[in-house]
Chains A and B, each alone.
Chain A
């Protein structure tokens, strides 16, 4: 069957189970978008307001659905606008295929109109990228792209397709889809089993790898079997229900006190699918002291990169845990459990005020169910969501972990909402973060998505201000925004419903009567001096956690 390049792209997307694509058209993808218009029965294309929003939406869609997120953009500025979204997916190991157009092959390398070297630009922030200079390579390249994005540690792949390749023709349909590789064989676990048998105070540190390998049940069983408390990385937040008695919550700089303190007191840490980010560990030397570490990860390059471990296990977390569980007897240490219970009490501090971030987040959570997708932007509000939102089910949290990209949330919420059949989806954001990509409210309005956008509005860039207050002599350089934006009116202007509240009862009454087919933007005014606590100061350890103001 003879097809042109654009038709091959559509066929390949269908062959890989893609039903939704996010993107933005332009000159260098005209043939591709023309072909898309003939295939609306097979592929739904979501047009966003900006390519960055499209990339974040594809990311949110992928995290929620477990499928590959796909994003289209034109050459030049279309491609460069994807960069933050691609970097975000790379650092958080999200499977994504980005397809960019480029100028026709004879114009490549001549600084043509809207030509950039997107392969060079994305090279350090991507699993791999391809350019298809010949239509004959396109089918193979797209097969490889989906394979790379989904094999091993997942991540983004970009395929650059010059415009002339989109219209050139060749034979299509000879290549079968590439089968996913066999999982790595589980290595010997003898050393790990011995270390676990000999320990008195085990601690589990669980991250995104648990969710990526769908090992939530195995994690829970391991924790129960060993009476081991679980501390979570931000990427692992939903791996275990919030109300499980040994779930200590998030570790690290703005994590729960108990999660960090228990880690510092344990004698054996079992690290599952984590990369020991600096935000999670604080001072590496102090973090490492006093315990042995068993590090289990699918990516060999993560083992020993940030923290040297005593026992290294390179493999899929679920496969490893399944085998490990067959080798372990139940262990119980009452003294350790009593100590954990003591540490947990420290986190049960009273709230700071009636209309505090905590009370707002808890109120919103009462109107959500276990399947409600929660997206966040980046900064103080993000940390408050990690601390106070009661997550019960896996993969309902969309947050920018490794990159910490303000402006991620709205696009991600749109993608997550679409992946969940347009179910009500909540975005917690802030005046600073929402300001970065609020043009996507227009997208959510066009799509009639029932998003609930909660702005924790303190009028400042709160996280940076907090650092300036604590470590820079309270010189609030460029963090007091002094903007006069009326978010409620702005939301109305976009065609959404806007609200302004300053009490929990007002918030409640709005949440009781939310619109069903358009986004609701609820501006919650909070105090600019609210801080995210506990906090481990940079370079610090469990010993210098700041608990209260």
Chain B
């Protein structure tokens, strides 16, 4: 399985982290590491989520995350082979 990182720009609002992690949990994808901080614009936060999965899982995660109202931008970062 490949490790991969998703970078998200999301609304900086209570409950948003729950929506993101809930989406991973519901589809059975484990989160290996998670990093969140406020951007220079306090309306938004930046998240980095590291997870494991093949190309199918990566595509699904990116597309499902893109549907969330609070998610403004999704970027799939370069993957590292394990």
Q: Which chain A residues have a beta carbon within 8 Å of chain B's beta carbons? A: 119-120, 123-124, 127-128, 144, 148, 299-301, 304-305
Let me know if B22 and A123 touch, CB within 8 A: yes
The answer to whether B82 has its CB under 8 Å from any CB of chain A is no
Knowing A120-B18, A301-B64, the reply to whether A127 touches B59 (Cβ < 8 A) is: no
Interface string of B57-71 (1 = CB under 8 A from A): 001100110111110
**Please, which residue of chain A has its CB at the minimum distance from the CB of B65?**
A301
The answer to whether B42 has its CB under 8 Å from any CB of chain A is no
The answer to whether B56 has its CB under 8 Å from any CB of chain A is yes
For B66, give its contact among A120, A127, A300 (CB under 8 Å).
A300
For B63, give its contact among A120, A123, A127, A300 (CB under 8 Å).
A300
Task: Give B28 Cβ to nearest chain A Cβ, in Å.
Answer: 13
Q: Which chain B residues have a beta carbon within 8 Å of chain A's beta carbons? A: 15, 18-19, 22, 26, 56, 59-60, 63-64, 66-70
Task: Give B59 Cβ to nearest chain A Cβ, in Å.
Answer: 7
**Please, which residue of chain B has its CB at the minimum distance from the CB of A119?**
B15
Q: Which residues of chain B are near A119, meaning CB under 8 Å?
A: 15
Q: Which residues of chain B are near A300, meaning CB under 8 Å?
A: 63, 66
For B60, give its contact among A120, A299, A301 (CB under 8 Å).
A301
Let me know if B69 and A304 touch, CB within 8 A: no
A380 to B22, CA, bound (A): 34
Knowing A128-B69, A301-B64, the reply to whether A123 touches B19 (Cβ < 8 A) is: yes
Let me know if B18 and A123 touch, CB within 8 A: yes
A51 to B66, CA, bound (A): 32
Let me know if A301 and B18 touch, CB within 8 A: no
Q: Which residues of chain A are near B15, meaning CB under 8 Å?
A: 119-120
Task: Give B72 Cβ to nearest chain A Cβ, in Å.
Answer: 14
A509 to B68, CA, bound (A): 54
A304 to B58, CA, bound (A): 12
A182 to B22, CA, bound (A): 30
Q: Which residues of chain A are near B26, meaning CB under 8 Å?
A: 124
Let me know if B67 and A301 touch, CB within 8 A: yes
Knowing A124-B22, A124-B26, the reply to whether A148 touches B69 (Cβ < 8 A) is: yes
**Please, which residue of chain A has its CB at the minimum distance from the CB of B61?**
A301
Q: A123-B18, A124-B26, A299-B67 are in contact. List 15 more A-B contacts (CB 8 A).
A: A119-B15, A120-B18, A123-B22, A127-B69, A128-B70, A148-B69, A300-B63, A301-B63, A301-B64, A301-B66, A301-B67, A304-B56, A304-B59, A304-B60, A305-B60
Q: Which residues of chain B are near A148, meaning CB under 8 Å?
A: 69
Q: Which residues of chain B are near A305, meaning CB under 8 Å?
A: 60
Q: Which residues of chain A are near B18, meaning CB under 8 Å?
A: 120, 123
A-B contact pairs, 14 of them (CB 8 A): A120-B15, A123-B18, A123-B19, A123-B22, A124-B22, A124-B26, A127-B69, A128-B68, A148-B69, A299-B67, A300-B66, A301-B63, A304-B56, A304-B60
Task: Give A305 Cβ to nearest chain B Cβ, in Å.
Answer: 6
Task: Give A244 Cβ to nearest chain B Cβ, in Å.
Answer: 34
Task: Give B74 Cβ to nearest chain A Cβ, in Å.
Answer: 11
Task: Give B19 Cβ to nearest chain A Cβ, in Å.
Answer: 6
**Please, which residue of chain B has its CB at the minimum distance from the CB of A302?**
B63
Q: Which residues of chain A are near B66, meaning CB under 8 Å?
A: 300-301
Task: Give A147 Cβ to nearest chain B Cβ, in Å.
Answer: 10
Q: Which residues of chain B are near A301, meaning CB under 8 Å?
A: 60, 63-64, 66-67
A212 to B56, CA, bound (A): 27
Q: Which residues of chain B are near A144, meaning CB under 8 Å?
A: 69
Q: Which residues of chain B are near A299, meaning CB under 8 Å?
A: 67
Q: Which 10 A-B pairs have the closest CB atoms?
A: A301-B63, A128-B69, A300-B63, A301-B64, A124-B26, A123-B22, A301-B67, A124-B22, A123-B19, A148-B69
Task: Give A476 Cβ to nearest chain B Cβ, in Å.
Answer: 33
**Please, which residue of chain B has its CB at the minimum distance from the CB of A299?**
B67
Task: Give B18 Cβ to nearest chain A Cβ, in Å.
Answer: 7
A123 to B19, CA, bound (A): 7
Max chain B Cβ within 10 angstroms of own Cβ: one of A300, A301, A304: A301
A301 to B22, CA, bound (A): 17
**Please, which residue of chain A has its CB at the minimum distance from the CB of B63?**
A301
**Please, which residue of chain A has its CB at the minimum distance from the CB of B19?**
A123
A119 to B63, CA, bound (A): 22
A300 to B63, CA, bound (A): 7
Task: Give B6 Cβ to nearest chain A Cβ, in Å.
Answer: 14
A300 to B64, CA, bound (A): 9
A299 to B15, CA, bound (A): 24
Task: Give A341 Cβ to nearest chain B Cβ, in Å.
Answer: 39
Max chain A Cβ within 10 angstroms of own Cβ: one of B19, B64, B66: B19
A388 to B77, CA, bound (A): 52
